[in-house]
Amino acid sequence: MELPGLVAVWIFVCFYAFVDGYPNGKVREACTSMIPCHGSSPQLSPEHTITVSRTEFKPGDNIAVRLSGPDFEGFFIQARDAEHLDGPAVGSFMLSDRRLSQLLTCGHTKNSAVSHTSKVKKKDIKVYWIAPGDAPKHVQFLATVVKKYRTFWVKIPGPVVSQPDVLSPTTPLPATLEVMSTSHPVSYISKPFNASGCGSMKFCIRNPSNCDPGSASCFFLSFQKEENSVFIEMSGPSEGYLAFALSLDQWMGGDDAYLCINEDHHVRVSTALLKGRSRPVLDSESALEDVSWRLVDGVLQCSFRRSIRLPVYKGRFNLDASYYIFLADGEASEGGLIYKHRRQPLITNGLCNVTGPPQDIGGSRSPRLIKAHGALMFVAWITTVSIGVIVARFFKPVWSHSFLFGKEMWFQVHRMLMLTTVTLTSISFVLPFLYRGGWSQKAGFHPYLGCIVMALTIFQPLMAGFRPSRHAPRRQLFNWFHWSTGTTARILAVVTMFLGMDLPALDLPDPWDTYTMIGFVAWHVSIDVLLEIHSYCLIRKVEVIEDDRVQILQSLTSAEAEGHLFKQIVLTIYICGNIIFLIAFLIAINYI
């Protein structure tokens, strides 16, 4: 009677296994068969290949093994006895990139297989096989590759590696040795680049300006026009890759890119077409000639020559037109897989024609609109709002008898500073949307908190417009809401600025940007505490008349008047300090 129920459970389990697969790469269940449980039959003609660094080994040797081909989601690599391919896994592996691959234990041998870590698409995987002490005479590498859920290949045969002085197996499989794919010979640069001729014979881009390309902190790109070609040099501090791109605008996408990639201490120079913000797909055919490279002390340098016009190669721009030029650097895995650049690329300030009159220019890693956004927010929330709060908090008793345009002076100064804050914040709030063309998905909590600050900034003056009269019953409630809204906005604004300083688009010098912000907060708090202590000391001088107690020695108003000079001095010092912090910030973002 329970048989149907058991059958139903069995069907559910099998169905679940078929649909679920192994997106996290934990495929130990497939150690023997190497077949993924995807509910379909494997493909017959493999699209992917396995290559090795050498074909002979001795126990304890390391052999680099690379799996490459069109985009794939999952993989499973093992080494087995070439004469008994149904036997257990042989030897163990080491990883070169833990983000894409992980070690598995098949049978009794630890780390005897390698698989994927996620469904992220990949083109190239590199691992190292360690030959065991009891290795068989011949070892063959096998791989299962999953292109899509129902499209996969099982036990793709790889090369056979053998111990020395051992005859090849009965049915040998040719070993494929990995070589650098290039259409032209590659040479080594014997000495660093130099900037001689920049602005007179060649078009140069340097960051920092006028830096020496031989130094460990200089990013350098030069173009020297010849008859029908351009000789290009690129240099910078990077142990991963350097790249530049020609673009019709200041956005990534549809650009002609050139990359120098460190692959196991050899540099591969390649072209690519950038599609949106996705990883560039390197071209299989090279349009470059006279390729050379140098990698010394963390500085990567490469040079090559290309024709001004390349009508045969799709995606290559003509060099006799004007473009924005991007210069970027980032990390690369040992297999040559590149990752997103660590910081905002250097972008020229305008369109450049590299075959036109020679120039020696720089660029910016922070767009002008983003710089303006940061500068306006800093002025608003570091300068105007802080001074306005101090005036309202500590100068109300002193300036209550001085009038400006028919109103008490403290109120007019406070209102003017706060309206300035609202104006600056509103203008600054719009600038990132104009630059990005919409909402930024990669700025973390910064834009969300910024929207909250903007809402509170607008709400505060609207609420002030409905302020009750001084002696109205609801005046105390209004005062509390006015203070709490303003204080919340200030705290969130400071937190938002802290978060914004770490965004690559602003390109602030880390960690000095954080230290500057911490210094301002400490500066403001210390001035606030100093004025609070001063006010408390003045109030202590007042004695209240109650029945037969001591007569008034000094009224509160006269006591505040005595402290007027002290408060003016403190306010002047505070304003000067804020201006210093503001100038430091504007210098940091290269705005002045």
**pLDDT tens digits, one per residue of 480-510:** 998 899 999 999 999 998 888 877 777 676 6
Reply yes or no: is the peptide bond before residue 42 cis, omega within 30 of 0.
Answer: no
Percent with pLDDT over 70 in the chain: 83
Reply yes or no: is the peptide bond before residue 88 cis, omega within 30 of 0.
Answer: no
Candidates 201, 194, 203; CA nearest to 320 is 203
Residue 170 has pLDDT above 60, yes or no: no
Structural tokens at position 241:
């890759």
User: Which residues 6+ apart lie within 8 Å of 188 measured at CB?
Assistant: 292, 293, 294
Residue 318 has pLDDT above 70, yes or no: yes
DSSP assignment letter at 169: P
Residue 424 has pLDDT above 90, yes or no: yes
Pairing label, strands 289-296, 299-307: antiparallel
Candidates 69, 101, 55, 103; CA nearest to 333 is 101
Q: Which long-range contacts (CB under 8 A, 24 or more apart) does 110-113 make?
A: 112/78, 112/79, 112/88, 113/31, 113/76, 113/77, 113/78, 113/89
Residue pLDDT, tens place only, 510-536: 666 778 788 888 988 898 899 888 877
Q: What angle do CA 446, 450, 453 make, to 5 degrees?
A: 145
3-state secondary structure of 482: helix
Structural tokens at position 290:
């006279």
Q: For residue 438, name the pLDDT band (cuts at 50, 70, 90).
A: confident
Kindly report which listed range (10-24, 211-225, 445-459, 570-584) carries the lowest average pLDDT score.
Answer: 10-24
Residue-level pLDDT at 375: 86
Decide which of 186 and 46 is more confident.
Answer: 46
Q: For residue 39, name the pLDDT band (cuts at 50, 70, 90).
A: low
Q: For residue 27, name the pLDDT band (cuts at 50, 70, 90).
A: low
Residue 558 has pLDDT above 70, yes or no: no
Residue-level pLDDT at 112: 92
The region, left, alpha or beta by phi > 0 then psi within -120 to 50, assigned to residue 25 is: left
Candidates 280, 202, 282; CA nearest to 234 is 202
Percent with pLDDT over 90 in the chain: 30
Domain 28-162 of CATH type 3.40.1500.10: no
Tell which CATH architecture fits domain 368-591.
Up-down Bundle (1.20)
Residue 204 has pLDDT above 90, yes or no: yes
Residue 470 has pLDDT above 90, yes or no: no
Residue pLDDT, tens place only, 105-128: 888 888 899 999 888 889 999 999
Burial call 262-271: b when 16+ CB within 10 Å, e when fewer: bbeeebbbbb
| Residue 161: C-alpha distances to residues 53, 101, 141, 273, 388 (Å) | 10, 23, 9, 37, 77
Candidates 46, 61, 49; CA nearest to 161 is 61
Please compute the mean of the pLDDT values over residues 388-393 and round it to a whole number.
88
Kindly report which listed range (34-38, 221-225, 319-323) carries the lowest average pLDDT score.
Answer: 34-38
User: Which residues 6+ apart lie within 8 Å of 490 measured at CB?
Assistant: 381, 385, 389
C-alpha to C-alpha distance for 243 and 252, rounded to whole angstroms: 13
The overall average pLDDT reported for the chain is 81
Decide which of 169 and 50 is more confident.
Answer: 50
C-alpha to C-alpha distance for 24 and 55, rounded to whole angstroms: 32
Residue 262 has pLDDT above 90, yes or no: no
153 forms beta bridges with 145
Q: For residue 28, name the pLDDT band (cuts at 50, 70, 90).
A: low
Residue 131 has pLDDT above 60, yes or no: yes
3-state secondary structure of 206: strand
Q: For residue 65, name the pLDDT band (cuts at 50, 70, 90).
A: very high
Q: For residue 339, name the pLDDT band (cuts at 50, 70, 90).
A: confident
Residue-level pLDDT at 557: 53
Q: Where are the domains of the chain?
A: 28-162, 187-364, 368-591
Residue 384 has pLDDT above 80, yes or no: yes
Structural tokens at position 167:
């005859």
Please compute the mean of the pLDDT values over residues 288-292 and round it to a whole number.
89
Q: Say if residues 418 and 426 touch (Cβ distance below 8 Å).
A: no
The domain defined by 187-364 folds into Immunoglobulin-like (2.60.40)
Residue-level pLDDT at 549: 46
Identical topology for domains 187-364 and 368-591: no
Please compute the mean of the pLDDT values over residues 535-563 and round it to a whole number.
54
Q: For residue 143, name the pLDDT band (cuts at 50, 70, 90).
A: very high
